[in-house]
């Protein structure tokens, strides 16, 4: 008879069992235990939460927000403007070169609609404006020679002189005389201004998608010479009448022409580049930008002067201009299908559906009458027993049915 094989030492056997346990733990698949709770109300809550989450992701995230697309905001943009038209005031005819400031045709420009002119100003001495604080006086003692008021019109001489009209007196100053409110003449240019036409030429580019487009239709039949903007029939004829812009902004043209104001022309390029380029169209909106309801800062005006020489001495005409300032504002967003955001949002949607399970578990463990029964079934409480022949270690062999004891053996029918 063959001799019996010698038994390996106890330490070697333990090491082998430990190795088998570690190898088994590496390759074994673990899955959470599923418990079916036959409770109709809880089932309705669970499916309702899942349905709401599903509707949110399908309708809002994917359809409304288009989260399956890669997007780019703030296109590169250029704006060129051109104003045409003539108008009349009480004293002269005005053309574009006179009432548009600045004349370069940029995205921000002003159209003068009313002016207050102070002609023939020259350097000399004259009465200070009554609008300046502490300018009124009764005698020379009330005026300090050499005093300079930063909000005034010149350097005080120390004399108290009669005002331009009436019986009042103000301190004399050295500067451009007469001062503005002493001899200004008002002229209104807004009679024909509503018919001024404004060409707004805009081109945009989305560098991420290498997509470019402009707001003028490419035609060779002189289309731009006889068209004006219409949202439906002439979308690609960006020639607007000034009266139309003011009307769309919800303002009264006569009032705005007298006080001045700032109107924004907003061009929005929202483009779905999964569709054809013809579906990417500009959308125009108009609104007033300056705070018209704040009396201290309502309206818009600025000053400039025209200089010339009379008999060798420098003379100027000071003009305080009220007008409608136009700000062209371009913004937009482009989107195109991309696999990465699609996968990310799908994974988020599938993960969020698990909120229903969390909510129902919380209801079961907190508010249900038999919450303790459910707790015992969901969470197996076990008493560990050391594995036979295996020493303590990180990778102990898997416990058998005899190695633990369940604290509850009742069936799920009690739920």
Residue 309 burial (CB < 10 Å; 0-12/13-18/19+)?
A: exposed
Determine if residue 82 is labeled as part of a ligand binding site. yes
Determine if residue 83 is labeled as part of a ligand binding site. yes
407: which residues sit within 8 A by CB, 6+ positions away?
Answer: 376, 381
Determine if residue 100 is labeled as part of a ligand binding site. no
Query: How far is it, in rounded angstroms, from Cα 217 to Cα 408?
Result: 79
Q: Check: CB of residue 289 under 8 Å from CB of residue 266.
A: no
Determine if residue 33 is labeled as part of a ligand binding site. no
Determine if residue 378 is labeled as part of a ligand binding site. no
Query: How far is it, in rounded angstroms, from Cα 333 to Cα 266?
Result: 14
In the numeric block, which tokens belong to residue 183?
């001899």
Determine if residue 201 is labeled as part of a ligand binding site. no
**DSSP secondary structure code for residue 129 in this structure:** P
Beta bridge partners of 337: 69
Q: SS in 3 state form for 171-224?
A: EEEEEEECCHHHHCEEEECCCCHHHCEEEEEEEEEECCCCEEEECCCCCCCCHH
Helix axes 339-352, 40-55, angle to 10 degrees: 160
> How many Å separate Cα 112 from the centre of its chain?
30
Torsion of Cα atoms, 118 then 123 then 127 then 128, to 10°:
80
In the three-class reduction of DSSP (H, G, I as helix; E, B as strand; rest coil), residue 376 is classed as: helix
**Residue found by looking up tokens 């120390």 in the block:** 158
Q: Annotated binding site, which residues?
A: 82-84, 197, 301-303, 320
Q: Annotated binding site for ATP, which residues?
A: 82-84, 197, 301-303, 320
């Amino acid at each position: 008879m063959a001799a019996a094989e010698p038994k390996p030492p106890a330490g070697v056997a333990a090491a082998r069992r430990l190795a088998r346990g570690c190898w088994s733990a590496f390759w074994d698949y673990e899955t959470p235990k599923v418990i079916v709770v036959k409770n109709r109300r809880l089932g309705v809550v669970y499916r309702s939460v899942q349905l709401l989450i599903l509707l949110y992701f399908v309708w809002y995230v994917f359809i409304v927000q288009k989260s399956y697309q890669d997007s780019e905001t703030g296109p590169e943009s250029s704006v060129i403007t051109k104003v045409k038209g003539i108008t009349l005031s009480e004293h002269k005819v005005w053309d574009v070169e006179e009432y548009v400031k600045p004349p370069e045709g940029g995205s921000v420009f002003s159209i003068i609609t009313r002016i207050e002119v102070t002609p023939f100003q020259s350097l000399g001495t004259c009465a200070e404006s009554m609008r300046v604080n502490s300018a009124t006086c009764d005698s020379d003692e009330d005026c300090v020679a050499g005093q300079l008021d930063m909000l005034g019109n010149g350097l005080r001489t120390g004399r108290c002189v009669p005002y331009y009209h009436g019986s009042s007196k103000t301190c004399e100053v050295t500067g451009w005389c007469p001062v503005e409110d002493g001899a200004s003449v008002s002229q209104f240019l807004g009679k024909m201004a509503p018919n001024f036409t404004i060409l707004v030429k805009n081109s945009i580019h989305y560098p991420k998608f290498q997509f470019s487009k402009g707001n003028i239709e490419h035609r060779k039949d002189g289309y731009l010479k006889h068209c004006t903007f219409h949202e439906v029939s002439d979308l690609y004829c960006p020639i607007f009448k000034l009266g139309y812009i003011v009307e769309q902004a919800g303002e009264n043209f006569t009032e705005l022409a007298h006080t001045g104001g700032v109107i924004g022309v907003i061009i929005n390029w929202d483009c779905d580049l999964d569709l054809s380029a013809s579906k990417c169209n500009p959308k125009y909106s108009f609104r007033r930008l300056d705070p018209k309801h704040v009396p201290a800062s309502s309206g818009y005006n600025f000053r400039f002067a025209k200089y010339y020489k009379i008999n060798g001495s420098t003379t100027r005409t000071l003009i305080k201009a009220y007008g409608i300032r136009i700000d062209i504002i371009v913004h937009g967003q482009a989107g195109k299908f991309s696999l990465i955001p699609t996968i990310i949002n799908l994974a988020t949607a599938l993960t969020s559906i698990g909120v229903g399970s969390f909510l129902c578990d919380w209801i079961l463990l907190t508010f249900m009458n038999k919450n303790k029964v459910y707790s015992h079934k969901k969470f197996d409480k076990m008493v560990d027993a050391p594995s036979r022949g295996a020493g303590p270690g990180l990778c102990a062999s898997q416990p058998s049915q005899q190695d633990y004891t369940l604290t509850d053996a009742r069936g799920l029918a009690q739920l």
